[in-house]
Amino acid sequence: MAILTTRPRGTNDFLPAETPRWQYVERTLLSTAALYGYGEIRTPTFEHTELFLRGVGDTTDVVNKEMYTFTDKGDRSVTLRPEGTAGICRAAIENGLLGDALPLKVSYVFNCFRYEKAQRGRYRQFHQFGVECYGATGPVTDAEVISLAWEGMQTLGLKDLTLAVNSIGCPTCRAEYHKALRAYFERRREELCETCRERLEKNPMRILDCKSPVCGEIAKGAPRVLDYLCGDCRDHFEKVQTLLKDADIPFTIDAGIVRGLDYYTRTVFEISVPGFPALCGGGRYGGLSRQLGGPDVEGIGFAMGLERLIMVMEQQGCDFPEPQQCDLYIASMGEAAAEEAFRLTTQLRREGYAVQCDLMGRSVKAQMKYANKIGALYSMVLGDSELQSGSAQLKQMATGTAKPISLAHFLPEFETEMQNGWFAAAAEAAEKIDR
Ligand code: AMP
């Protein structure tokens, strides 16, 4: 393998032809979050390894098997973030954001790293959009966060979205539930996969999340957490459902959703499309901030994987905005004309037009071919005769029609053209003659 010209497995290059789609998706999601009062946060790509051991939980696959951990030159163990929540909670504590002015509402778009078996839709470097809200414990917050995820995905035009919600209770009611779950799985211990046999000791709820078909089948008959909720947790969950109904957000209750983090409490949810379960997943968590040495503040958040989101949008034929096009290509012949082309190009760019001129020293024919290739709307050729006469031909590429334009008054005349000028009028006149 040519290692110098091959990217590491599970990573992607995002080429200029694709990045406008990414920018659009990121902008749309971040501005939806801004409508809900969420400001963007950016945290380091790597953190102390201990943060993820404590913050994600050492019974999760993410921490056990998938972390990119290395020792730096100062002999410290650092890890590329496998998810966003732990780093954000650390940043919130360190910067004193959990002290007052709660709730704290933050949104993010960044890369995450997991050493997973790379395949379509599963990468070792991937990107997430997500939010975290700290300090608000009531059901309205849960409904607001779910609504934000839902509306963000709706705004992107995703179709056939389904929202599934569940409550996994608080540590008090979960203790009872764990007991019942352990008893149930203990009876089927021999049939469980090796990982789930370990989970049985450490955290039996994780078995409900197992991807193996055998464990999945066994999990179907397991006790349901909803039957073990304490009164407070039941009230909370019922209120969340009422609020979602009031907001016209359709949902189903899925007792199988347990989510990966060790600290989830009460509401958990997933948004899926057919063929892509859990495109977005999130929930409420307690204990994380305290576990990291911060105040006792609850959080709730979600994350969605952007690679998968964009893949689904493309499959579903969702609209993406057109990327910025080239308004004008100025071709030139000779040194003096090339200088004038550069001067005009600079002037027009300052006015906000996307303009290009030759950088390759090509023939005019080759320059025009290039103008065509980049999809320039207009083109113009400058040579000695145009410089002498002070006038050139402005050509509309789509129709091939051209009209003279003054070099001395180029900007105002070009501006008029761009704002529905001569070409549009000519096209209209031609249409009238046709009729
Ligand atoms: P999680 O933190 O595991 O709940 O993941 C949140 C979202 O990130 C998921 O719903 C996926 O859409 C996405 N995701 C997780 N792992 C990967 C991966 N290896 N490659 C691409 N997307 C991922």
**pLDDT (tens digit, 9 = 90+) per residue, 406-419?**
999 999 999 998 88
Phi, psi of 351 (to 5 degrees): -90, 0
Q: How far apart are CA 92 and CA 99, in angstroms?
A: 9
Question: From the CB of 358, is ligand 1 less than 6 Å away?
Answer: no
Which atom in ligand 1 lies closest to the alpha carbon of residue 282?
A: 4
Which atom in ligand 1 lies closest to the alpha carbon of residue 259?
A: 4
What pLDDT score was predicted for residue 435? 57
What pLDDT score was predicted for residue 100? 76
Which atom in ligand 1 lies closest to the alpha carbon of residue 128?
A: 8
Q: Are 255 and 209 in contact (CB under 8 A)?
A: no
Question: From the CB of 260, is ligand 1 less than 6 Å away?
Answer: yes
Instruction: Find the mean pLDDT for residues 34-60.
Output: 92
Q: Tens digits of per-residue pLDDT, 218-256?
A: 998 999 999 999 999 999 999 999 999 999 999 999 988
Instruction: Find the mean pLDDT for residues 319-340.
Output: 95
Residue type, 89: C
Phi, psi of 392 (to 5 degrees): -135, 175
Q: Residue 362 C-alpha to ligand 1 middle, in angstroms? A: 47
Structure tokens at 163: 């929202």
The larger pLDDT score, comparing residue 227 to residue 433, is at 227
Q: How far apart are CA 113 and CA 10, in angstroms?
A: 10
Q: Is 323 exposed, middle or buried (0-12, 13-18, 19+ CB in 10 A)?
A: middle
Q: Are 104 and 299 in contact (CB under 8 A)?
A: no
Q: Residue 114 C-alpha to ligand 1 middle, in angstroms? A: 9
Distance separating the N- and C-terminal Cα atoms of the chain: 63
Question: Can you give the chain as a three-state secondary structure string?
Answer: CCHHHCCCCCCCCCCCCCHHHHHHHHHHHHHHHHHCCCEECCCCCEEEHHHHHHHCCCCCHHHHCCCEEEECCCCCEEEECCCCHHHHHHHHHHCCCCCCCCCEEEEEEEEEECCCCCECCECCEEEEEEEEEECCCCHHHHHHHHHHHHHHHHHCCCCCCEEEEEECCCHHHHHHHHHHHHHHHHHCHHHCCHHHHHHHHHCHHHHHHCCCHHHHHHHHCCCCHHHHCCHHHHHHHHHHHHHHHHCCCCCEECCCCCCCCCCEEEEEEEEEECCEEEEEEEEEECCHHHHCCCCCCCEEEEEEEHHHHHHHHHHCCCCCCCCCCCCEEEEECCHHHHHHHHHHHHHHHHCCCCEEECCCCCCHHHHHHHHHHCCCCEEEEECHHHHHHCEEEEEECCCCCEEEEECCCHHHHHHHHHCCCHHHHHHHHHHHHHC
Q: Are 423 and 396 in contact (CB under 8 A)?
A: yes
Question: From the CB of 305, is ligand 1 less than 6 Å away?
Answer: yes
Instruction: Find the mean pLDDT for residues 284-293.
Output: 92
422 confidence band (pLDDT: 50, 70, 90): low
Q: Residue 279 C-alpha to ligand 1 middle, in angstroms? A: 7
What pLDDT score was predicted for residue 423? 59
Q: Residue 261 C-alpha to ligand 1 middle, in angstroms? A: 13
Of all residues in the chain, what percent carry a pLDDT higher than 90?
A: 79
For atom 20 of ligand 1, which residue has the closest CA? 122
Instruction: Find the mean pLDDT for residues 133-146.
Output: 98
Q: Residue 301 C-alpha to ligand 1 middle, in angstroms? A: 14
Question: From the CB of 209, is ligand 1 less than 6 Å away?
Answer: no
Question: From the CB of 123, is ligand 1 less than 6 Å away?
Answer: yes
- In the predicted structure, residue 206 carries a pLDDT above the cut 80: yes
Question: From the CB of 116, is ligand 1 less than 6 Å away?
Answer: yes
Q: Of 65-74, 77-86, 199-208, where does mean pLDDT reach its minimum?
A: 199-208
- In the predicted structure, residue 281 carries a pLDDT above the cut 70: yes
For atom 18 of ligand 1, which residue has the closest CA? 122
What pLDDT score was predicted for residue 419? 83
What pLDDT score was predicted for residue 411? 95
The residue to mutate among 67, 122, 262, having the most atoms of ligand 1 within 8 angstroms of its beta carbon, is: 122
39 confidence band (pLDDT: 50, 70, 90): very high
Q: How far apart are CA 399 and CA 427, in angstroms?
A: 9
Q: Residue 214 C-alpha to ligand 1 middle, in angstroms? A: 23
The residue to mutate among 128, 129, 272, 311, having the most atoms of ligand 1 within 8 angstroms of its beta carbon, is: 128
Instruction: Find the mean pLDDT for residues 354-366.
Output: 97
Q: Could you tell me if residue 306 is left (phi over 0), alpha (psi between -120 and 50 degrees) or otherwise beta?
A: alpha
Q: Residue 23 C-alpha to ligand 1 middle, in angstroms? A: 19
Q: Residue 314 C-alpha to ligand 1 middle, in angstroms? A: 18
The larger pLDDT score, comparing residue 84 to residue 206, is at 84
The residue to mutate among 307, 311, 312, having the most atoms of ligand 1 within 8 angstroms of its beta carbon, is: 307
- In the predicted structure, residue 132 carries a pLDDT above the cut 70: yes
What pLDDT score was predicted for residue 59? 67
Question: From the CB of 83, is ligand 1 less than 6 Å away?
Answer: yes
What pLDDT score was predicted for residue 259? 75
What mean pLDDT, rounded, does the chain reach?
A: 93
Residue type, 227: D
- In the predicted structure, residue 421 carries a pLDDT above the cut 70: no
- In the predicted structure, residue 58 carries a pLDDT above the cut 80: no
Q: Residue 263 C-alpha to ligand 1 middle, in angstroms? A: 18
What pLDDT score was predicted for residue 326? 96
What pLDDT score was predicted for residue 354? 96
Question: From the CB of 66, is ligand 1 less than 6 Å away?
Answer: no
Q: Tens digits of per-residue pLDDT, 95-131?
A: 999 987 899 999 999 999 999 998 988 999 999 999 9
The larger pLDDT score, comparing residue 410 to residue 64, is at 410
What pLDDT score was predicted for residue 209? 80
Question: From the CB of 307, is ligand 1 less than 6 Å away?
Answer: yes
Question: From the CB of 278, is ligand 1 less than 6 Å away?
Answer: yes
